[in-house]
Amino acid sequence: MNSRKTQQLLCLSKSLTDKVVLTKNSRVRAVKTVSCRNAGRKIHSPINSDKALEPLNLEFREALSLIKEGSEKVESASYVPLLQECIKKKSVSEAEAIHGHIIKMGIHEDLFLMTFLVNVYAKCGMMGSARKVFDNLPKRNVVTWTSLMSGYVQNSQPEVAISVFQEMLEEGGFPTNYTLGVAFNACSLLGHFELGKQIHAYVVKYEIGDDTSIGNALCSLYSKSHNLDSAKAFRMIADKNVISWTAAISACGDNGDSAMGLSLFVDMLCADVEPNEFTFTSVLSLCCIMQALKIGSQIHSLSIKLGYGSNLRVTNSIMYLYLKNGWIIEAKKLFDGMESISLVTWNAMIAGLAQMMDLGEDGIAAHSSGFEALNTFLRLHHSGMKPDLFTFSSVLSICSSLVALEQGEQIHAQVIKSGFLSDVVVGTSLVNMYNKCGSIDRASKAFVEMSTRTLISWTSMITAFAQHGYSKQALQLFEDMRFVGVRPNKVTFVGVLSACSHAGLVKEALTYFDMMKKEYKIKPVMDHYACLIDMFVRLGRIDEAFDFVKKMDFEPNEFIWSLLIAGCRSHGKLELGFYAAEQLLSLNPKNSEAYFLLLNMYLSAERWKDVSRVRKLMKDEKIGKLKDWSWISIRDKVHSFRTGDQLNPPYENIDNFLSDLHDKASTMGFELHTSLELKNEEDDEATFPIGRHSEKLAVSFGLLNTPSAAPIRVIKSISMCRDCHSFMKFISQLTSRKIIIRDSKRLHKFVNGHCSCGDFGSLV
């Protein structure tokens, strides 16, 4: 390499790090300082030239070209800024070119330079090349070992990092605090906590446990292992910094002790240690768990005071805390006041509004939150930012809860356009959405189109078939799942036993029940017994159903007693029905639906003393309201109806239409019963005929305001009564419409005079 090219290369390497010092004399001395974070050392490379040199504005590729063309030796420090550019560009080919020149120039034994090259390959994801460089080194120091270990951890190969750590110890190397920190990190990623304890013993042996970085790493390790030794590790740290405190606070959250975490945060403030963004997010997460809204709002104020008011991580955490505790207005203010909104923020807002659906005081509030979440998703779409798989799975879950098929189909189209259809999480969410919206054909199509399937995917589809009464398909799919080697879990068997229950397949159900226990070693839970009890009840084998209740290792829940009540009523076992109803009531003395169920059973049997007793109990327990609401969504607007509503525009024509439907259904054999008492919330003395139950009003409105072939989808707050259930069968046949009603117990899909529940989904 001629003198001019050498000088050009030197100037360029200096300009890349903005630290070129040129002195215009007869001789030029250029001083280049390169820092190596791992080695903790500085290299000064004095370069001499025979004539003055002006700084040249050359690009990285020009310097690389000079390197490739040259044959003269270059100082090792001149390679470092070029290699730093390779890391920045993630350019493996250029790093290999420089590596080749280093070997050609015979300076491949320079330990500092080759250690830096190990780091370059590691950060470019080429651990094979990094290992080759490492293995060819004539000697190694602790920095070299640590660089290789760090590379394996960074490239998700923590097990190899541990192997390298063991090699170092076997060769007599002494790890630094940084090396031990990398080893602890690898143990955390592997979940290898016993090995972590062994390394901790090494730390104790050499009395370096009070080192801050070591203590922080130990806190993190024990936190992930849900081990209380994290507290001991924290106490051992002599000089606790913000990382130490944050690790300890996070450990409390990981180990389910949120109160202790908040207490540590107070101690941290008292120790005059200023929290950082990670501390705030950890503490706000604890506030979410404890629903400590007041403390959270104080932390919000503190974060603003310390300059984190516009920090995205902190703002997201505060917004989610407010959403989880029902402070919608405050959360919206934060959201709308952000200068820039990341996808994480959009996702947090959507997920928070979705969670509000479960926290809503009533169905109207829940649906309002759900549709607001969908509107937020629409805003995200209009912003030009692309949703990710978490966005899609959250929004599809909302559509499932709202039975919002139209919106779900639109989101499905966006999923296809965005390229996330192949993602197994999104695919499973689509299966669940179509299932809960009553479209089993679309759910099956979404399942078939999945490129890969997990246990959850298989289980979701099996359960969907069972819920829609497609028992044969559910059992065949279960056998297909086993054939391809997917091992079922307890949830899968709930779907299988439910399918057997719907079809009355007693022999098959008992065979699968034994298979679950003996072949797969799964201990039966309440839901498994509920499926078998449901099967015997449907078949009228009430005594066998009660025998199964006695065989359980735990007390029956409300759902099982409800099943038994329904069976006893359907098959004339009134005394057992009364017993089951009393058990249901004792299990949940505040269950207004159970009181009305028992009251009407006694009314039907004309047991007036028991009627008076139950009414007195209701009065004593202040059970005067049965919240019977139904909702239907039409063109993105929710319409709600309550039993006995005095209808005003635009709903006043429903009464006449509903009366007409009753008349037509009567000519087909439907008989209207009016024995059920439903109290109006504002007037405890008022009772209303069964002809105006909320789902009838909602379905009538849907029939009047949707295209003639469109399915009707309604959500109801309590269980359907038998008479309404019977009425919907006639209406589905009369109007040739699919009517889908999800009540508090199950999904009912009425098609051509039949219901997917097998006429066993109504209790009262």
At 196, is the pLDDT very low, low, confident or very high (cuts 50, 70, 90)?
A: confident
Pick from 109-118, 350-359, 384-393: least confident? 350-359
Mean pLDDT, range 389-396, rounded to an integer: 92
Cis peptide, bond prior to residue 138, ω within 30 of zero: no
Across the range 391-405, mean pLDDT stands at 90
Q: Which amino acid is at 209?
A: G
Q: Does the pLDDT of residue 40 top 50, yes or no?
A: no
Q: Distance between CA 244 and CA 265 in Å, rounded?
A: 11
Between 560 and 25, name the one with better pLDDT: 560
| pLDDT value at residue 475 | 97
611 pLDDT above the threshold of 60? yes
| pLDDT value at residue 290 | 87
Categorize the per-residue pLDDT at 490 as very low, low, confident or very high, splitting at 50, 70 and 90.
very high
Q: Which of 672, 680, 686, 688 is nearest to 722 (CA)?
A: 672
Q: Does 664 have pLDDT greater than 90?
A: yes
Task: Please state, in angstroms and rounded to a whole number, the distance separating the CA atoms of residues 710 and 395.
Answer: 23
Mean pLDDT estimate for the chain? 80
Choice among 351-355, 530-534, 540-544, 670-674 with the minimum mean pLDDT: 670-674
Model confidence over 66-111: pLDDT tens digits?
555 555 556 777 778 888 888 887 888 888 888 887 888 777 878 8
Do residues 392 and 424 make contact, with C-beta atoms less than 8 angstroms apart?
no
Dist. CA 202–CA 183, nearest whole Å: 12
The one-letter amino acid at 283: V
Residue 523 is predicted with a pLDDT of: 94
For residue 130, is pLDDT > 70?
A: yes
Band of residue 20 on the pLDDT scale cut at 50, 70, 90:
very low
Of 32-36, 132-136, 578-582, the least confident = 32-36
702-728: pLDDT as tens digits: 999 999 889 999 988 888 888 889 999
C-alpha–C-alpha distance, residues 326 and 311, integer Å: 23
Determine the angle formed by the axes of helices 389-402 and 424-436, rounding to 10 degrees.
10
